[in-house]
Amino acid sequence: MEKEEHLICLGIESTADNLGVGIVSSDGRILANEVEVHVPKTGGIHPREAAQHHSAEFGRVLEKALKAAKIRSKDIDLISFSQGPGLGPCLRTGATAARALAVYLNIPLVGVNHCIAHVEIGRLMSSAKDPLTLYVSGGNTLITAYESGRYRIFGETLDIAVGNCLDTFAREAGLPYPGGPAVETIAAKGNQLLPLPYIVKGMDLSFSGLLTAAILKLNEGQCRLEDLCFSLQEVAFAMLGEVTERALAHTKKHELLLTGGVAANKRLRSVIQLIAEEHGAASKFVPQKFATDNGAMIAWTGILAYVSGLRTDVETSYIDSHWRMDEVEVPWRSSN
């Protein structure tokens, strides 16, 4: 019984190029959050190479996390892992490690939806209670809020994620990886808004046409890179702002949370802040350290799920690389 009151969860994150091991206690303290990033030699992420990186590094990252948390493996009460969505080979590597640990330590296993984990770490770190959330990363772009037992999706990208759009453009422009921060730095020196396609379809977004047009302009070489980065950001963030604002007006939530890797962007933060202010909502931001993929968010969501009675059998703990967040029951939210 005493164990139920104070739990320690070890969470494994391995959806894409980050391998994360986080250790979190049930009172919301982050005891460890070790992240190891796989940087591809050329081009974008190669799923199998990233997975090989994760399996080669797992032992070392696990050891670092236990050391940072100043605990031994026997102090862990449960294991959670990113069960999806994400890249199959990467997810499988994390899931295999999680199953092995749970069986070896004879403790429960909880599979966690990666998108929900981004929202939950944002809520924990920003003290948001019931926000509308804009979750923007390299693989996901969606607007979500809790409603009747689930995180509902109010709008999402129909093709590539906004982070992927920035990363691919940056790669074409010869900027360092990851592209988002590099584009942000250069955009700060731009001031001329170039015409680029602005694509919002109802509550959904599309970034592939914007990316193609930006690369075309880049290759034409008729404009300054500073102005092109500036314009790419302005158009992409205005699109995000439009859908977010409409969802905020519709849901009437009192908090607006920005989470995911692209939440690090200062320009996007200012757009979100402005929208929140105009609607009398509080703007909430996930701290940089917890914005990009990390194990702590998986560990924390594992605790929330476990405490509300959810378990994942090792035998049926398959990964689901297309697992949508609105398919998941979130019983821990039903009381607030």
Q: Binding residues for ligand ATP, per CB under 6 A?
A: 15-16, 18, 86, 114, 118, 137-140, 163, 166-167, 178-181, 184, 260-262, 264-265, 292-293
Q: Which is nearer to ligand ATP, 283 or 294 (CB)?
A: 294
Answer with the entry of Fe ion, ligand ATP, none that 94 interacts with (C-beta below 5 to 8 A by kind): none
Sheet containing 255-259, strands listed edge to edge, beginning at the edge strand earlier in sequence? 150-156, 141-147, 132-136, 255-259, 282-285
Which one of the spans 33-41, 121-129, 137-145, 158-166 is the region binding Fe ion (CB under 5 A)? 137-145
For 148-297, strand residue ranges (E) read 150-156, 200-201, 204-205, 255-259, 282-285
Residue 131 or 180 having the CB closest to ligand ATP: 180
The reply on whether position 137 binds Fe ion by CB under 5 A is yes
| Least Å from the CB of residue 114 to ligand ATP | 6
- Nearest distance, CB of residue 287 and ligand ATP, angstroms: 13
Residue 166 contact, options Fe ion, ligand ATP, none, Cβ 5-8 Å cut-off depending on partner type: ligand ATP
- Cβ nearer to ligand ATP, comparing 26 with 82: 82
Map tokens 């691919």 to a residue. 168
Question: For ligand ATP, which is the closer residue by CB, 16 or 299?
Answer: 16
For CA atoms 260, 264, 268, 271, the dihedral sign is positive
Dist. CA 217–CA 94, nearest whole Å: 40
Residue nearest to ligand ATP (CB): 261
Compute and round to an integer the Cα radius of gyration of the chain.
20
Q: Which amino acid is residue 13, in one-letter code?
A: E
Contact partner, 253, from Fe ion, ligand ATP, none, Cβ < 5-8 Å per class: none
* CB neighbours of residue 102 within 10 Å: 22
Name the helix (H) or strand (E) containing 36: strand 30-37
Q: Which residue is nearest to Fe ion (CB)?
A: 293
Of these, 17, 92, 293, 304, which contacts Fe ion (CB under 5 A)? Answer: 293
Per-residue binding string, Fe ion, 81-120, x by CB under 5 A, is ----------------------------------------
DSSP state, 184? H
Taking CB under 5 A as the binding criterion, the range among 26-34, 41-49, 161-169, 286-294 that sits at the site for Fe ion is 286-294
Which CB, 94 or 179, lies closer to ligand ATP? 179
Count CA atoms closer than 13 A to 166's CA, side-chain side.
Answer: 33
Are the CB atoms for 47 and 64 separated by under 8 Å? no
User: Which residue has 């422009």 as its token pair?
Assistant: 173
CA neighbours within 13 Å on the CB side: how many for 263? 30
Task: Determine the Cα–Cα distance for residues 246 and 128; give it in Å rounded to an integer.
Answer: 20
Contact partner, 123, from Fe ion, ligand ATP, none, Cβ < 5-8 Å per class: none
Please state the closest distance from residue 28 (CB atom) to ligand ATP, in A.
21
The contact set with Fe ion (CB under 5 A) reads 137, 293
